Amino acid sequence: MAGLSIDRGGARHPLIELSLGRLREFAREPEAVFWSFIFPILMSVTMALAFPGGGNKPAIVGIPQGAGAAAIREALARDPAVTVRDVPAGGEERALREGDVHLLVVPTAPPTYRFDPDRAESRVARLLVDAALKRAAGTADPWTAREEPVQLPGSRYVDWLIPGIVGLSVMGNGLWGVGFPIVQARMRNLLKRLVASPMRKREYLLAQIIGRLIVLTPEAGAPLVFGVLVLGMPIRGSIAAICLVCLVGAFSFGGLGLLLASRVRTFEAISGLMNLSTVPMWVLSGVFFSATNFPQSMQPLIQALPLTALINALRAVILEGTTLIGVARELAILAAWGLGSFATALAIFRWR
């Protein structure tokens, strides 16, 4: 039995030593630490400023010069939901195109509305202006609906956005944080040196992911804490469920990072592969606007993407208080990506 006892001369299990090594190297890279924490917060702030609360922005309307312009201006001035902005003569088209005004009301009789029907705010402006002008012209409203304004915490755009940014952060840090150091180790011949020792290959690969999982808590936590403390975002689900979703997500993207880094030996190549795989998810996975906006035929593909699964699960848990069982499908998608990538990476990995 003595033959089975292992003497590591004061070192811990290789999986622990490898994971610690990865963690230390990350922590000793001040720039990497800075960006992985600050970037998601910067992004949240920017988006919160760019899209302050949704519906109560006034419609901005431009009125070109002409007889009757003054009457229209006076009629619209009475409506608090409409703001009239002066447009220099000849600059109407430009103002419309740049979004300076949402709608141009040309003072003809009856008035002419010029706007881009593809823009939601332009369509809203058209409805508001039309109602206001008809009221001013003495057209009686058939009835006046009773309005019940409801402020739902968690229904604001920023509340919806923050989980998306957490998802982006988990994806970016998982992919880059795992992929880049591997390519670097390969370029330095370090991988070859490691496989010349009795190190187990799968332990090395697993440690690259574990090293990231440990850093993940503060990384994903940063935008969440910012959202709760600064933006008043509600958290309806349990913290444990959020952590678990993040961990499974990080495992998924860590595995993908391994896979992308499994053969390449230049930073250019790994950057290209990373961009190639992340950019479609930035667009399709519903970070900034709902993924359901894409056509039905694309939905099976979109729903199978790991970032979609991660963000959907995060939104469900954070905003709707869904339990882990409720997001089991998303977790399964993430785990499948992680395990599949890990197994493929282990099989095709280039150690020299």
Which member of 1, 2, 11, 145 binds another protein (CB under 8 A)?
Answer: 11
Least Cβ distance, residue 253 to another protein (angstroms): 23
Q: Element (H or E) spanning 112, and its range?
A: strand 112-114
Answer positive or negative: Cα dihedral of 50, 54, 58, 60: positive
265 binds another protein (CB under 8 A): no
One-letter amino acid of 145: A
Least Cβ distance, residue 183 to another protein (angstroms): 14
Least Cβ distance, residue 352 to another protein (angstroms): 7
Least Cβ distance, residue 219 to another protein (angstroms): 19
Write out the binding residues for another protein, residues 156-215 only, by CB under 8 A: 185, 188-190, 192-193, 195-199
14 binds another protein (CB under 8 A): yes
Query: x/- contact string, 24-43, with another protein (CB under 8 A)?
Result: xx--xx--------------
Answer positive or negative: Cα dihedral of 324, 333, 274, 347: positive
Beta bridge partners of 112: 106
Tokens 């409203």, residue? 141
The answer to whether residues 101 and 45 touch, using CB atoms and an 8 Å cutoff, is no
Give which of 212, 207, 231, 225 is closest to 172, Cα–Cα: 212
For residue 9, give the 3-state DSSP assignment.
Answer: coil
Q: How many residues does the chain have?
A: 352
346 binds another protein (CB under 8 A): no
Least Cβ distance, residue 220 to another protein (angstroms): 24
The answer to whether residues 40 and 222 touch, using CB atoms and an 8 Å cutoff, is yes
If the CB atoms of residues 14 and 154 are measured against another protein, the closer one turns out to be 14
Interface with another protein by CB under 8 A: which residues?
A: 6-14, 16-18, 20-21, 24-25, 28-29, 185, 188-190, 192-193, 195-199, 352
